[in-house]
Chains A and B, each alone.
Chain A
Amino acid sequence: MKEVGEKKLSKIVLYFFLIVSALLSVFPFYWMYVIGSNSTNAINKFPPAVIPGTSFADNAAKVFERIDFFGALLNSFIISGAVTLSVLFFCSLAGFAFSKLQFKGRDGLFIFLLATMMIPPQLGLIPNFMIISELGWLDDLRAVIVPAMVTAFGVFWMRQYISSSVPFELIEAARIDGCSNFRTYWNIVLPAVRPGLATLGIFTFMGTWNDFLWPLVVLKDRSVHTIQIALRTLNDVYYTDYSMILSGTFMATLPILVVFLIFNRQFIAGITEGAVKD
């Protein structure tokens, strides 16, 4: 009897702890909306407003006046979309070669590729800035897209995925039918690794969407700002108007949150696979 009581208590403690953790995780999203939907006057008092107000549209209108919100959103979308498509193509192609084709130095090249993942991006920041300005790509979306078009992590990910989910017999069969290597990749391998592509695609899209330091360095002009840089401008220049800033932040967070809620299964599964397989 006593034991049952103890179990119940520990269950309650467990649920309580998890609920508190989940609430703490979600609270800042709620808070973005609370501040973003109240007037600055309602926020700047003690105790502050704790429930959503009715000024969201007003605050949002001020955001649209001060920054080119939709332009920035579009830039982020173009950059993230282009990087994602390119990463999916080049990384799966290289992953196919590393996993199914024989060529001299293959394993050595692959180890080299893994080693490059250890290098922190800051190390090349200044020379990369110089290269981009030599190319005349400052204030040009290409400055952010081109260096990210194929990544070591992506190649690694696709190689592991192709190795474990495309049997050699399938490749051999395609060859007997007279497929070239590229056709084998395009018609046989790509359709077979769709789930792996989906996970890599979500990772890449979100990572690029949230990138901050590099776009900050190379995209100075307002017309090429990504949504992150535009938010930062909003925060820097109009720092007293928190309601307006947070309505902008909320609107900028919403698209990525929706994408996450749709694809959360692939995303969470992808993270655990990456970590546990290492």
Chain B
Amino acid sequence: MASDQTIQPAQPKRPKKRYSQKVNDRRSGYLFVSPFFILFGIFGVFPLLFTAYLSFHRWNILGTREFVGFQNYSLLFTDDPLFWKALGNTISIWLISTIPQLIAALIIAFLLNQAFLKGKAIFRLGIFMPNVTSVVAVAIVFSAMFGTQYGIINYVLSLFGIDPIHWRGSYFGTHVAISTMVMWRWVGYNSIIYLAGLQSISKDLYEAATIDGANKIQQLISITIPLLKPIIIFTVLQSTIGGLQIFAEPMLFGVGGNYQGLTVTLYLYEEAFTRFSFGYAAAIAWLLFFIIILFSLVNVFLTKKIKST
């Protein structure tokens, strides 16, 4: 279909030259796209398959290997409470960070889209700034802020008469601290995306709704959210894929005595690069991949359902 397009324009001229141009195009076409496919073959396709192969072996860094079939997987499912703990932590952190994050982003975008607002560019810049900061820097500064004894957050809470919270000592504290880092880094990013979506919605719709007597909240629920649906799905997907792979924040904040900060990717990393059980880590990697796909599909399904009222 598409291949007919280029042949047309110059056809009346010289058919012979056209033919050589066609051969030329084919040669340079393959040549020009080949770097991606070669690199992806080496660092993408091969590792993907090899991870699958590894996951059926007991394999360590000394190179001793032994085919064990599905043993790594059955071990993961039946005899590894730490893996399930890591999965539970990952999902908990992901929920605590994603839901408020997307709601806050939506509200901020809605406010930024008000016509009378002055200083839009400054607000946008400020809100977006966290996103360019490295995860490492974010994790370090928030670790300081969430300090139990001298952290600014406990200090602020104490002004409201709340006793110091031992952020590193409990599931709740650790999950909230890590989720806060994620939220801080991504609210602005999602606001900017929603804002772009909002700007593409026609003003007439809102004017008509105002004439019909709908207030701002009603407009948000019955015009804005349904029309933003594709973009909401996009952001939900992105936060699912990113959130389930969370690694640097818990690593730098510390997993804590009960492993309450251990996430799946962190567990994978430790199995692979501190205990060097490559086979087992490979099985974790594939399982994580399936979990991400599963969650993405469920989320897309749910987002589609809820919003189409």
Contacts and interface: CB of A to CB of B under 8 A. Distances in A.
Given A98-B33, A175-B21, A213-B269, A253 B248 contact: no
Contacts of A25: 126-130, 184, 187-188
A67 interface: no
Contact of A253 (B40, B128, B133): B133
Contacts of B36: 90-91, 94, 113, 150-152, 155
Contact of A102 (B26, B130, B141, B152): B26
A152 B40 CA distance: 9
Given A18-B111, A102-B6, A275-B193, A97 B51 contact: no
Contacts, number: 274
Nearest to A128: B47
A26 interface: yes
A44 B130 CA distance: 26
A14 B114 contact: yes
A104 B189 contact: no
A257 interface: yes
Name A's interface SS.
Answer: helix
B46 interface: yes
A229 to B, nearest CB: 8
A231 B134 CA distance: 11
Contacts of A35: 141, 144
A124 B43 contact: yes
Contacts of A150: 35-36, 39
Contacts of B6: 102, 168
Interface in A159-184: 168, 172, 175, 180-182
Given A48-B155, A126-B51, A107 B2 contact: yes
Interface stretch (B72-80, B86-94, B284-292): B284-292
Contacts of A272: 192-193, 195-196
Interface string B6-36: 1101100000000001101110111111011
Contacts of B184: 24-25, 28
Contacts of B37: 109
A108 to B, nearest CB: 11
Given A124-B48, A264-B128, A44 B137 contact: no
Contact of B282 (A22, A106, A126): A126
Interface string B172-210: 000000000000100111001101110010000000000
B285 A246 contact: no
Name B's interface SS.
Answer: helix
Nearest to B135: A212
A146 B39 CA distance: 8
Interface stretch (B95-103, B116-124, B218-226, B299-307): B116-124
Given A44-B150, A131-B43, A249 B141 contact: yes
From B25, B108, B195, residue with most partner A Cβ within 10 Å: B25
A5 interface: no
A45 B147 CA distance: 12
A28 to B, nearest CB: 5
B281 interface: yes
Given A103-B26, A123-B286, A276-B200, A253 B137 contact: yes
A58 to B, nearest CB: 18
B231 A276 contact: yes
B214 to A, nearest CB: 15
Nearest to A185: B32
